């Protein structure tokens, strides 16, 4: 079912993860709740206390689809591998659910303006900052950084690798990340997952009809694959 969703989206030209498109909603609502609560406490503006609490309710509503799409992306793009940033995101998502639920309950008990609720808003804010950090670590962190090439097709290939491949493959080592590291790939005899002989043709075939749990990258153009090959040959 998950793969059907992504393959359908690819047909319409959408190749990106689904989670980032929605996770800004609960994050923005948590930030809004804290700022409204802070303003209410600072300027004795009681109406904003209720506004902050309403933000919490909406954040809780949007948290479920955000988590579901995050799990789908995790399964599709990472094969469900429990990388450290994912472990931290799962823990922080659980904490966020607890903080928001407690804030909701306090609000139902008409204690939304209490210091305890304000601290829950603060803890929720710190939690979404942590979620953002570890999400950024997956995309931009040093563990996913591709080797930089100054010019030529390999330079374009480095960008393609960083956007499409670096989440699962190391560029500077042979150790496994989610998939095998690709350092020195074209100096080997066999592709690490399929065992097929190393060649440009088999590399291209792996992108179009992957072996194992690797998702298909059939949406890449021939020129992009050529640039990607040029880059991988430099590793």
Q: In sequence order, which residues have a C-beta less than 8 Å from that of residue 70 and are 6 or more positions away? A: 19, 23, 89, 93
Cβ(210)–Cβ(216) under 8 Å? Answer: yes
The Cα 5–Cα 10 span in angstroms is 9
pLDDT of residue 151: 64
The candidate with the shortest Cα–Cα distance to 229, out of 194, 196, 205, 195, is 205
pLDDT of residue 140: 67
Which CB contacts under 8 angstroms, 24+ apart, belong to 161-170? 161/228, 161/231, 161/232, 164/217, 164/220, 164/228, 165/228, 167/77, 167/78, 167/138, 167/139, 168/77, 168/78, 168/79, 168/214, 170/143
Q: In sequence order, which residues have a C-beta less than 8 Å from that of residue 47 and are 6 or more positions away? A: 40
Cβ(192)–Cβ(180) under 8 Å? Answer: yes
Q: How far is CA 159 from the centre of its chain?
A: 18
pLDDT of residue 4: 85
Residue 46's Cβ-count burial label (10 Å; 0-12, 13-18, 19+) is exposed
Cβ(20)–Cβ(31) under 8 Å? Answer: no
The Cα 132–Cα 109 span in angstroms is 31
The 10 Å Cβ neighbour count of residue 4 is 8
Tokens of residue 206, six digits: 């792996």
Cβ(81)–Cβ(18) under 8 Å? Answer: no
Mean pLDDT by 10 residues, the chain (235 residues): 82 84 94 96 91 96 94 80 84 96 91 88 96 83 46 80 83 85 90 87 86 79 88 88
Residue 124's Cβ-count burial label (10 Å; 0-12, 13-18, 19+) is buried
Q: What pTM does this model have?
A: 0.69
Q: In Å, what is the CA distance from 232 to each residue of 158, 162, 172?
A: 8, 11, 10
């Amino acid at each position: 079912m998950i793969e059907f969703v992504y393959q359908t989206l690819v047909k319409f030209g959408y190749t990106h993860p689904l989670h980032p498109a929605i996770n800004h909603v609960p994050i923005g609502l948590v930030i809004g709740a804290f700022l409204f609560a802070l303003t209410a406490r600072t300027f004795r503006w009681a109406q904003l206390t209720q506004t902050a609490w309403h933000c919490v309710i909406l954040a809780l509503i949007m948290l479920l689809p955000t988590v579901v799409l995050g799990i789908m992306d995790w399964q599709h793009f990472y094969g469900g591998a429990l990388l450290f940033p994912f472990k931290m995101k799962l823990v922080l998502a659980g904490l966020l659910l607890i903080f928001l639920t407690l804030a909701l309950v306090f609000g139902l008990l008409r204690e939304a303006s209490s210091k305890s609720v304000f601290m829950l808003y603060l803890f929720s804010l710190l939690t979404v900052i942590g979620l953002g950090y570890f999400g950024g670590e997956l995309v931009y962190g040093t563990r996913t950084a591709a080797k930089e090439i100054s010019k030529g097709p390999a330079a374009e290939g480095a960008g393609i690798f960083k956007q499409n491949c670096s989440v699962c493959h190391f560029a500077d080592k042979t150790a496994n990340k989610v998939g095998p590291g690709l350092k020195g790939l074209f100096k080997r005899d066999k592709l690490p997952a399929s065992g097929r002989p190393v060649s440009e043709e088999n590399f291209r075939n792996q992108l179009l009809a992957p072996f194992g749990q690797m998702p298909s990258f059939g949406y890449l153009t021939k020129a992009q694959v050529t640039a990607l090959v040029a880059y991988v040959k430099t590793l």
